[in-house]
Chains A and B, each alone.
Chain A
């Protein structure tokens, strides 16, 4: 009973702390690469509290869909945080199927597309079209990575796949799937090299152009769900790597907790590093980048199947 309470407390702590922390970590990494000090570690908190106090400006063409989508999006991302095993100490639920997770993710995207189209601006329109194109390409990569893990663990239940049982995990599959998830997360989260989140140029934006019309608390909701989604997706990828490691060395529970935190932070720093060093790809070259993610996921699938594993 006590351990359950502790794990819930730990889980809430992670949900509250990690999203702003990884945002600052990415910003700090990018700033250091430019020889700048960068904004304060608490900057996301400052920004969010500012947004909380600000009034909202709504265009006259907007309907309830716009604001409703932001709230729905937040709920769906929270749901995703509850189901996806992005940290080792997450309390488990029944029914946490991989396909559920994939469709919750797709549903969240659907609502953000709706909100973007609802804004009625030309920017919202083409941003939604770009987002839809990218998600169409990246969804198979993300799905296949999870499926590979599922085949490997002979289950489609997420808690069974990420259960830290040595025999159920093949390190190569875990590693490849982790890479696949990481690369597709970069696309899913509109990070470099697909989209530059720091640009002010509306015409080049994907994610940012979708939320141009959001302001005040509505924008706060969008920003918080984005940060949480990023934490969850990076965490999921980190868990894959930790499982690959764990297939060789048996880790005690406390070490797994520490590794879970470190994994997410490490990947956030990696995202910052990528953003500091790479050049944003030409829109026509984006499919080539997504092909890397897809290749990783496919390889993971082939290896899992090659082992003769089937679903129970």
Chain B
């Protein structure tokens, strides 16, 4: 996606962005920096899909925070503080997110050395201070960072009153690997492998976002067939992950028959992925310029019959899950996030759509022809299950239509020049299975990537989990958690 950089002074930044968010209904996609000498703000219009990029030069390491009036920015401004040492003045809860207390106070991984002298050291609070809920009978349950079952690390601190959760504070950053910095260090042709590994359950979405980000710097239009094949990969990944999430939810409520059947038919999406890309997790398939592998007519037919098989089995299973009285009883009204909270905190993907935000990046993309996002109003676990079920059906339809359009032969790769254009900006927005994934890259005079910024959907949605579990029972937390299906590695990067 092509985007123009507009200048915005520091004094005007906060009022103007707030005005755009309030009156134009825009959402803040990214607020970050390139090397610590400026602030960049990416605004997205969720009704047209257009993006606006603002550059604000900084004189000092402090700036007025956006969080006060745009709560959706609160997490990204915390990350910005961690990574660049830029202090958002007036931020209500400035705490470490990615770099824990054991890091050096003057360690700002993405900050240019030029600005190091003006940056205040991050004061050591000794131990991380969790928000404490006071009162008689209030107790805390610490869960994690190591969990039962094979999942990633993250710490949850519950403040409970009896069985009721009063507050949940989530602490992440245990799998911070420095992906964004690494992407500025490797050659741009190899960066896709790093991007794919950033959040491996969204490998296709990450590879797609990376490739489109690079392509947008070259301003090259890809062959239609390449776009279709990428769409196919993305939708296969989406179905697979949605099925896995539904299996997880069914398993959590003890509906084991349906849970294991979902797991079984998830295998079909792996088969489809293998047929398409030669790799069951769709890795190393999408590359800048197109795709690395042109499927034969026979393979496409096999994928098509797999999709029909999947469609038939999904129909039965989704009905069993959604029509069951017990499931309805168990999921209804649990973990509610209402529309105003969802839009204030800029929720994306299933979490946003289940609360009534009709924002899906796919509706602005040409490969999808006509696309209407699935959404729900209730915003509870049941709504998120229903939206997932609907999206599985939609994705199967999309796969059918893409396969039909793929019958016309053509090229699926467009060679790219060797060097990236200097002083350019690359942007891509992809609807990963968790929601809006943004990649934003800047190059320097030599045409090397000087900053690669990734906004994973989980960055927005972890807060939703903390809001959803309030005043719910402790025993309902795993269900809420599963219904949001959040990534630790995608967030920590």
Residue of A nearest to B150 (CB): A200
Range class of the B interface residue count: 20 to 34
The answer to whether A203 and B474 have CB atoms under 8 Å apart is yes
The answer to whether A279 and B257 have CB atoms under 8 Å apart is no
Quick check: is B330 within 8 A (CB to CB) of the other chain? Answer: yes
Quick check: is A266 within 8 A (CB to CB) of the other chain? Answer: no
Quick check: is A92 within 8 A (CB to CB) of the other chain? Answer: no
Residue of B nearest to A122 (CB): B141
Using A36-B260, A202-B143 as known contacts, say yes or no to A196 and B254 having CB atoms under 8 A apart: yes
Which residues of chain A from 202 to 231 have a CB within 8 Å of any chain B CB?
202-204
Over the window 467-487 of chain B, the binary record of Cβ atoms lying under 8 Å from chain A Cβ atoms (1 yes, 0 no) is 000000111111000000000
A-B contact count (CB 8 A): 81
Over the window 84-112 of chain A, the binary record of Cβ atoms lying under 8 Å from chain B Cβ atoms (1 yes, 0 no) is 00000000000000000000000000000
Using A203-B474, A285-B329 as known contacts, say yes or no to A280 and B254 having CB atoms under 8 A apart: yes
User: In the assembled complex, how far is the CB of residue B259 from the closest CB belonging to chain A, in whole angstroms?
Assistant: 8
Cα–Cα, bound, A282→B264 (Å):
27
Quick check: is A125 within 8 A (CB to CB) of the other chain? Answer: yes
The answer to whether A34 and B475 have CB atoms under 8 Å apart is no
Q: Which residues of chain A are near B160, meaning CB under 8 Å?
A: 126
Using A199-B254, A200-B148, A202-B148 as known contacts, say yes or no to A125 and B139 having CB atoms under 8 A apart: yes
The answer to whether B473 and A34 have CB atoms under 8 Å apart is no
From the candidates A122, A125, A200, A283, name the one contacting B475 in the complex (CB within 8 A).
A283
The answer to whether B142 and A35 have CB atoms under 8 Å apart is no
Quick check: is A74 within 8 A (CB to CB) of the other chain? Answer: no
User: In the assembled complex, how far is the CB of residue A26 from the closest CB belonging to chain B, in whole angstroms?
Assistant: 12
The answer to whether A34 and B260 have CB atoms under 8 Å apart is yes
Q: Which residues of chain B are near A34, meaning CB under 8 Å?
A: 256-257, 259-261
The answer to whether A277 and B163 have CB atoms under 8 Å apart is no
Cα–Cα, bound, A193→B253 (Å):
9
Quick check: is A312 within 8 A (CB to CB) of the other chain? Answer: no
The answer to whether B256 and A30 have CB atoms under 8 Å apart is yes
From the candidates A122, A123, A204, A279, name the one contacting B326 in the complex (CB within 8 A).
A279
The answer to whether B475 and A204 have CB atoms under 8 Å apart is yes
The answer to whether B256 and A193 have CB atoms under 8 Å apart is no
Quick check: is B252 within 8 A (CB to CB) of the other chain? Answer: yes
Q: Which residues of chain B are near A199, meaning CB under 8 Å?
A: 252, 254
Which residues of chain A from 92 to 147 have a CB within 8 Å of any chain B CB?
122-123, 125-126, 129-130
Cα–Cα, bound, A282→B473 (Å):
9
Residue of B nearest to A281 (CB): B330
Cα–Cα, bound, A196→B142 (Å):
22
The answer to whether B257 and A276 have CB atoms under 8 Å apart is yes
The answer to whether B330 and A280 have CB atoms under 8 Å apart is yes
The answer to whether A123 and B141 have CB atoms under 8 Å apart is yes
Cα–Cα, bound, A275→B148 (Å):
22
User: In the assembled complex, how far is the CB of residue B313 from the closest CB belonging to chain A, in whole angstroms?
Assistant: 13
Q: Which residues of chain B are near A33, meaning CB under 8 Å?
A: 256-257
The answer to whether B478 and A275 have CB atoms under 8 Å apart is no
The answer to whether A192 and B477 have CB atoms under 8 Å apart is no
Quick check: is A278 within 8 A (CB to CB) of the other chain? Answer: yes
Cα–Cα, bound, A115→B249 (Å):
32
Quick check: is A53 within 8 A (CB to CB) of the other chain? Answer: no
Q: Which residues of chain A are near B253, meaning CB under 8 Å?
A: 279-280
Point out residues on B near A: beta carbons under 8 Å.
139-143, 148-149, 160, 162-163, 252-257, 259-261, 264, 324, 326-327, 329-330, 334, 473-478
A-B contact pairs, 13 of them (CB 8 A): A34-B256, A35-B261, A125-B139, A126-B160, A130-B163, A196-B254, A199-B254, A200-B149, A201-B148, A203-B141, A203-B477, A279-B254, A283-B476
8 additional A-B residue pairs with CB within 8 Å, beyond A279-B329, A283-B473, A283-B476: A33-B256, A33-B257, A130-B163, A198-B256, A202-B148, A279-B254, A279-B324, A281-B329
